[in-house]
Amino acid sequence: MVPEELFSLALGLVPPWLVDHVTFTVEEKRLDLHINFPKGSRFACSVCGEECPVHDTRDHTWRHMDFFQ
């Protein structure tokens, strides 16, 4: 199993969400997980539930003290 699949499972992501890139820096003790979705994915509207395309995206960064705890 590749790291991207492992972390997608560990985070409980469901399609179309997935971890598409993992970077670990030993010196910094830093694990970066890049979460994304395939181009053309559709998501359920939070109001009516209809499947809708994505109009725009932004990169966000969240910090968690220790993924493994």
pTM: 0.75
Q: Which residues are within 8 A (CB) of 3 and not within 5 positions of it... i.e. 6 or more apart? A: 19, 22
Alpha helices of 1-69 — where are they, by DSSP H?
A: 3-11
- Segment 25-39, tens digit of pLDDT: 988 888 899 999 999
Q: Are strands 51-53 and 42-44 parallel, antiparallel or unpaired?
A: antiparallel
Rounded Cα gap, residues 63 and 57, in angstroms: 19
Contact (CB, 8 A) for 32 and 23: yes
> Per the structure block, which two tokens stand in for 32?
């970066």
pLDDT of residue 30: 86
